[in-house]
């Protein structure tokens, strides 16, 4: 085992995994974390903790992950390269693993222009692929980036990365995924999927390269709350495509929230049938209370034991 995490064990056994997501508070109110975490307890195998997502200042992913561990939940700590140089990155990995964090998702991060600190200076000393390679070097060789200095202790992490099957150029998406596999990624969580035909084509290219045998791929889903949300995401969120038929269903629905949950359950059923998909990453953004309903409706409960 590379980390001994619950997520790694389940995927290693061939179980169909389910991960959730928790956005830390915009401050130090631990009650916010505890409230969200209770909705996820027992419903998912691990909980992604976002790292100042959309460049909005929030409690650190490391601190939030440590609180989840204290509560008996398993975090997937996200780390972005936007805010850290390689010194800070490796230092934070030391701290995270010392606190018991066993899963890490390597990301570049949204540009600061999206957030509430537009005058901030970004770092991007290394990119997400180099971050994956950095973590793998620390874990497998016990050395710092560059490979010259030995680490005092042992780094055990299950290394994750993100993939967006919907960005352009489409053909390059699988090439980039292959680079992340070579760099050392163990699992992948995708951007939220609405265009099932395009995702199926992406997965065909993934299988053609044999990447589904090298990486555990968790397909991302996000339940829509309203027709307005569907229209906004389709128009304004980069890397997301929502078919007109789904937008129309949401707009015409008498109870849009329930329709969004129904669509999400339908999507999970389709994703479970695709060869090479090893699990679901359920991103119920500020809607954690619906995770149980979605997981139940999709036949994903109870969760298996590692």
Helices (H) and strands (E) in the chain, counts: 11, 8
Report pTM.
Answer: 0.96
Measured distance CA(284)–CA(20) in Å, rounded: 8
From residue 199, alpha-carbon distances to 53, 158, 251, 271 in Å are 24, 25, 24, 9
DSSP letter for 250, please.
Answer: H
Given this structure, which CATH class describes domain 6-297?
alpha beta
List, as one string, the DSSP characters of 42-81.
TTSSEEEE-SSGGG---S-HHHHHHHHHHTT--EEEEEES
Cis peptide before 302 (omega within 30 of 0): yes
Structure tokens of 23?
């956005």
Measured distance CA(277)–CA(273) in Å, rounded: 8
pLDDT in tens, the chain (306 residues): 999 999 999 999 999 999 999 999 999 999 999 999 999 999 999 999 999 999 999 999 999 999 999 999 999 999 999 999 999 999 999 999 999 999 999 999 988 888 999 999 999 999 999 999 999 999 999 999 988 889 999 999 999 999 999 988 999 999 999 999 999 999 999 999 999 999 999 999 999 999 999 999 999 999 999 999 999 999 988 789 999 999 999 999 999 999 999 999 999 999 999 999 999 999 998 999 999 999 999 999 999 999
Residue 24 phi/psi, 5° resolution?
-60, 160
SS3 48: strand
From residue 191, alpha-carbon distances to 9, 114, 170, 279, 281 in Å are 24, 18, 14, 13, 9
**Whole-number pLDDT of residue 94:** 98
């Amino acid at each position: 085992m590379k980390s001994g995490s619950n997520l790694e064990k389940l995927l290693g056994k061939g179980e169909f995994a389910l991960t959730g997501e928790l956005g830390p508070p915009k401050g130090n109110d631990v009650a916010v974390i505890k409230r969200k975490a209770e909705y996820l307890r027992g419903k998912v195998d691990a909980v992604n903790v976002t790292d100042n997502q959309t460049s909005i200042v929030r409690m650190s992913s490391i601190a939030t992950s440590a609180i989840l561990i204290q509560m008996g939940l398993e975090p997937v700590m996200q780390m972005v390269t936007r805010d850290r140089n390689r010194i800070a990155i490796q230092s934070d990995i030391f701290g995270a693993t010392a606190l018991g964090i066993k899963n890490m998702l390597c990301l570049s991060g949204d540009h600061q222009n999206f957030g509430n600190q537009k005058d901030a200076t970004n770092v991007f000393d290394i990119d997400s692929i180099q971050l994956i390679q950095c973590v793998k070097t620390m874990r497998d060789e016990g050395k710092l980036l560059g490979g010259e200095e030995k680490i005092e202790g042992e780094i055990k992490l299950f290394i994750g990365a993100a993939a967006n099957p919907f960005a352009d150029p489409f053909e390059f998406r699988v090439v980039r995924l292959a680079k992340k596999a070579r760099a050392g990624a163990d699992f992948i969580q995708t951007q939220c999927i609405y265009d099932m035909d395009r995702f199926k084509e992406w997965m065909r290219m993934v299988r053609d390269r044999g990447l589904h045998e090298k990486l555990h791929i968790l397909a991302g889903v996000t339940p829509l709350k309203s027709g307005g949300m569907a229209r906004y995401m389709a128009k304004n969120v980069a890397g997301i495509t929502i078919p007109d038929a789904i937008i129309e269903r949401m707009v015409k629905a008498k109870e849009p929230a329930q329709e969004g949950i129904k669509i999400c359950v339908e999507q999970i059923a389709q994703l479970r049938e695709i060869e090479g998909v090893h699990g679901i990453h359920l991103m119920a953004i500020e809607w954690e209370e619906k995770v149980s309903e979605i997981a139940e409706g999709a036949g994903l409960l109870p969760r298996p034991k590692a």
